C-alpha cells in the first residue's frame, strides 16, 4: 500500500520556522475545511471510519500520534511526528488514530465540508465497498 507524505517547505530564518499551505501548490486539492484535534486523552482511539469521497491531509503540527491506514487488503501503521510532513489520506481508506502525545495537535485539511453521509463507520461495510470498486 502506497503511503503518500507531502513534504512541506519550511521558510525558516533566525526568528524560527514558518510553513504555508496553499491550495494547488503544496496541497493537491481545493481546501474546503480545516479542523484540528487536540487534548486527546491517553489510550484514546479516534477515527475508526473511512470516507466515500473525501480526501484529507493530516499534519501533526505539534507532538505526535500514530495512524493505522487500511485499504481493505493491506494495513499500514505510521507515526506522524513532523510538522513538515503531510500525510495524504485518500477516499476509501479506513483510518484509526491513537497513541497521541499529550501535546499533540493534529491538523487536518479536507477537500469538502463536513458531510455525515460521506462516512463509512462500519468496518464490514467498508470492506464490502472497497471490494465493489
Ligand atoms: P468524529 O468524526 O467522531 O471525529 P474522529 O473521526 O476524528 O474521531 O467527530 C467528532 C465530532 O465533531 C462529531 O460530533 C462530528 C463533529 N465534526 C464536525 O462538526 N465537523 C468536522 O469537520 C468533523 C471532522 C467533526
Q: What mean pLDDT, rounded, does the chain reach?
A: 97
Q: Is the CB of 36 under 6 A from ligand 1?
A: no
Q: Is the CB of 83 under 6 A from ligand 1?
A: no
Q: Is the CB of 46 under 6 A from ligand 1?
A: yes
32, 33, 34, 35: residue to mutate for ligand 1 pocket, most atoms within 8 A of CB:
35
Contact 95, 47 (CB under 8 A): yes
Q: What is the ipTM of this complex?
A: 0.94
Q: Is the CB of 35 under 6 A from ligand 1?
A: yes
Q: How many domains does the chain have?
A: 1
Closest CA to ligand 1's atom 7? 47
Compute the distance between CA of residue 68 and CA of residue 82 in angstroms, rounded to an integer: 17
pLDDT of residue 133: 67
Q: What is the pLDDT of residues 47-103, one digit of tens each?
A: 999 999 999 999 999 999 999 999 999 999 999 999 999 999 999 999 999 999 999
pLDDT of residue 46: 98
Contact 89, 56 (CB under 8 A): yes
Q: Return the bridge partners of 59, or none.
A: 107
Q: What is the pLDDT of residues 13-39, one digit of tens each?
A: 999 999 999 998 999 999 999 999 999
Closest CA to ligand 1's atom 6? 47
> Residue 69: which residues within 8 A CB-CB, separation 6 or more?
1, 3, 75, 76, 77, 78, 89, 93, 94, 95
What residue numbers bound the domain in which 116 lies?
A: 4-131
CATH of residue 88's domain is: 2.60.120.10
Whole-model pTM: value is: 0.95
Amino acid at each position: 500500500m502506497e503511503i503518500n507524505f507531502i513534504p512541506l517547505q519550511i521558510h525558516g530564518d533566525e526568528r524560527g520556522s514558518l510553513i504555508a499551505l496553499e491550495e494547488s501548490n503544496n496541497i493537491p486539492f481545493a481546501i474546503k475545511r480545516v479542523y484540528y484535534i487536540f487534548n486527546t486523552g491517553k489510550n484514546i482511539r479516534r477515527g475508526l471510519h473511512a470516507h466515500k469521497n473525501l480526501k484529507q491531509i493530516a499534519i501533526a503540527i505539534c507532538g505526535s500520534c500514530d495512524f493505522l491506514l487500511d485499504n481493505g487488503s493491506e494495513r499500514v501503521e505510521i507515526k506522524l511526528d513532523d510538522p513538515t510532513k503531510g500525510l495524504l489520506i485518500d477516499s476509501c481508506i479506513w483510518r484509526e488514530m491513537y497513541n497521541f502525545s499529550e501535546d499533540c495537535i493534529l491538523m487536518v485539511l479536507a477537500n469538502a465540508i463536513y458531510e455525515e453521509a460521506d462516512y463509512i463507520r462500519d468496518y464490514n461495510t467498508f470492506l464490502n465497498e472497497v471490494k465493489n470498486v
